[in-house]
Amino acid sequence: MNHYEKVKTIVDKYDASHDSVIAILQDVQSEYHYLPEHALRAVASQLGLPLIQVCGVATFFKAFSLKPRGEHTVMVCLGTACHVRGAPAVLDEVRRQLGVEPGNTTDDMRFTLETVNCLGACALGPILVVDDEYQGQMSSRKVKKVLNRYKKTPKDVRHEEIAVSS
């Protein structure tokens, strides 16, 4: 299936309805892990909307990324509870370790660094989430250890390792 058709399957699922732009883009993003230009163009033409309107939505909402994303997503929670418990120091350390600013991806495409304004798991704060795994009670000291686990091993092996060690 070519890109245009891939997008069309998604657009058709929502009956090409203009109200569903956000939902369509969310599905497109889960397909490609970001919103490539050709997909935005395909969505706009298939919905019969001006490209600027689709791009407006794609750039307004934080959930969308116009840049390709890394293999792992490292998310630092910056909710108030995490903030007062030292999240800024954790973020600084992640930044230093990965060498990228929030919103960006490492050159080797391994890690994308993101921040989030509260995950609602405040009892565990400060929280670092790598992919879907919560790492609670973080401190700058623990950052390196956690990231190293993801640097060394491919995803599936790592899961087994963690299961064994816990």
Partner 1 sequence: MKRLRSAVELEQLRVKILSQRKPEKPCISICGGTGCHAYGCEDVAKALKNEIKRQGLSKQVELKVTGCHGFCERGPLMVLQPRKIFYQRVNPSDASEIIAETVMKGNIIERLLYIDPVSEERAQSEEDVPFYKRQQRLVFGNNGLIDPTNIEDYLAIGGYSALSQVLFNMQPEEVIEEIKRSDLRGRGGGGFPTGSKWESCRNAPSPDRIRYVICNADEGDPGAYMDRSLLEGNPNSVIEGMIIGAYAVGAHNGYVYVRLEYPLALKNLGIALGQAREHGFLSQNILGSGFDFDIKISRGGGAFICGESTALMASLEGRVGEPRPKHIHTALQGLYGKPTNLNNVETWANVPLIINRGADWYSQIGTEGSKGTKIFSLVGKINNTGLVEVPMGITLREIIYGIGGGIPHGKKFKAIQTGGPSGGCLPESLINLPVDFDRLTEAGSMMGSGGMIVMDEGTCMVDIARYFVRFLTEESCGKCAPCREGLDRMLDILTDITEGKGKEGDIALLEELGSIIKEASLCALGGTAPNPVLSTIRYFRDEYEAHIRERRCPAGVCKELITFNIDAEKCTGCLVCARECPQGAISGKKKEPHIIDQEKCIKCGLCHDVCKFDAVIIL
- Decide: 47 and 25 in contact? Cβ < 8 Å: no
Residues in the chain: 166
Residue with Cβ nearer partner 1 (2 or 120): 120
Judged by CB under 8 A, which of 4, 9, 13, 23 binds partner 1?
Answer: 23
Residues near partner 1 (CB under 8 A), total: 44
Provide the minimum distance between the beta carbon of 33 and partner 1 in the complex, in angstroms, as a whole number: 15
Residue with Cβ nearer partner 1 (71 or 114): 114
State the Cα–Cα distance between residues 26 and 133, nearest whole angstrom: 22
Q: What is the DSSP letter of 74?
A: E
Residue 48 within binding range of partner 1, rule CB under 8 A: no
Residue 139 within binding range of partner 1, rule CB under 8 A: yes
Judged by CB under 8 A, which of 36, 70, 79, 126 binds partner 1?
Answer: 79
Residue 115 bridge partners (DSSP): 76
Binding mask 80-119 for partner 1 (x = CB under 8 A): xx-xxxx--x--xx--x-------------------xxxx
Judged by CB under 8 A, which of 42, 64, 70, 76 binds partner 1?
Answer: 64
- Decide: 24 and 14 in contact? Cβ < 8 Å: yes
- The four Cα atoms 80, 134, 30, 118 give a dihedral, to 10 degrees, of -10
Q: Residue 70 carries which side chain, given as an amino acid letter?
A: G
For residue 21, give every residue at least 6 positions away whose Cβ sits within 8 Å of its Cβ, in sequence order, or none. 43, 47, 49, 53, 54, 57
Residues at the contact surface with partner 1, assessed by CB under 8 A? 17-23, 26, 56-57, 60-64, 78-81, 83-86, 89, 92-93, 96, 116-125, 127, 134, 136, 139-141, 166
